[in-house]
Structure formats: structure tokens, C-alpha cells
Amino acid sequence: MAENLTRRQFMKIAGWAATVTGFTALSIPVIAYFYPKDLAEAPSEPVLVGPPDEIGIGESKTIPFGRYPVLVINTGEGLRAYSAVCTHFACLVNWEPDTGQIRCPCHEGYFDPLDGSVISGPPPLPLETIRIFTGEDGLIYIGGEEEA
Ligand code: FES
């Protein structure tokens, strides 16, 4: 049966196979970029931020938290923690002490550091709030389960 396969037919089949393989290989990271798995991949245990004075007023720290980082900000009205993944197209946001806002550099999205809400720009939703608390050892942690 293979003897009946012409060179042209073989090249056509090989071309289609290469196209499908290439498309699949390229589409997976693109889909993951636009539709990131959110905190389903967050660590089950709390993650250490540091001692209470680790982050000065008006400063921030980015903490690795599972697959995505968390932005911890000392707002002057307390510490706040948000997923650093923008709700628009999943770019990583950063803290801008000069403006007192959280900024997404990709499309100029701005978020309120007190509640993560959208101030301006294209993001459709607020940043995801991450639990932040003081442990029994007096250190600051993010994540983990809320005690009932
Ligand atoms: S990805 Fe953040 S504003 Fe577009």
C-alpha cells in the first residue's frame, strides 16, 4: 500500500502533520498567556513575606507565590497583597510610589492600592486580593487558609 503513495501525496501528508504539530505547539503558550490559571495554582501553605518592618510605608515587595507573583504594598493604611497578574491580558503589574498607584505597563492600566480596584485603563476587573496576615511568630505571611 505504501508503494502506491506518491512522493507528492507523502509530502502533502507530512506538510499537514507538521502544520498541526506546529499550530498545537504554538497555541498552548498563547492560550496560557491570555487565559492564565489564576490562584488555583497558589501554594496551599502560607508564604513568608518577612518581619512587620520588612516593607516601609509607600514601598512594595514582590513575592513568588506559586506560578505567579504577589505584590505586597505598605499603603500607610496597612499592608495589602494582590496577585501581580493584570486582569486585562495578564501582564505583571508593579507599584509606582510616585503616583501611589499600581500600574500595568502593557496598556497603562492603573489600580487602587487600597482595594485593587481599577482606576483607569482597559483592565475589566480589580486585581485579585490575596490574604495577608501576621503569624503566631510575629512574621507577615500571604496566602493559606483563613481560620474559621
Ligand atoms: S495587560 Fe494590563 S492593562 Fe493590558
For residue range 56-68, what is the model confidence (pLDDT) as tens digits?
999 999 999 988 9
Amino acid at 113: P
Q: Is residue 71 part of a domain?
A: yes
Residue 107 domain boundaries? 39-142
Same domain, 72 and 99: yes
What average pLDDT score do residues 21-40 get? 64
Rounded mean pLDDT of the chain? 88
What average pLDDT score do residues 11-29 get? 78
- Rounded CA separation 136/12 (Å): 66
Q: Is residue 51 part of a domain?
A: yes
Q: How confident is the model at residue 30 (pLDDT cuts 50, 70, 90)?
A: low
Interval between CA 128 and ligand 1 midpoint (Å)? 14
- Rounded CA separation 40/115 (Å): 21
C-beta separation of 122 from 86 below 8 A: no
Tell which atom from ligand 1 comes closest to the C-alpha of 122.
Answer: 3
- Rounded CA separation 12/18 (Å): 10
Coil vs helix vs strand at 87: coil
What average pLDDT score do residues 13-30 get? 77
Mutate to test the pocket of ligand 1, among 33, 101, 107 (most ligand atoms within 8 A of CB): 107
What average pLDDT score do residues 32-42 get? 58
Q: Is residue 12 part of a domain?
A: yes
Q: Give the three cell numbers for residue 15.
A: 506538510
Residue 116 has pLDDT above 80, yes or no: yes
Domain count across the chain: 2
Residue 43 has pLDDT above 90, yes or no: no
Same domain, 21 and 46: no
Same domain, 66 and 89: yes
- Rounded CA separation 124/118 (Å): 8
Residue 3 carries which DSSP code?
A: G
Amino acid at 10: F
Same domain, 80 and 116: yes
> Does residue 64 come out as left (phi exceeding 0), alpha (psi in the -120 to 50 range) or beta?
beta
- Residues having CB closer than 6 A to ligand 1 are 86, 88-89, 91, 104, 106-107, 109, 121-123
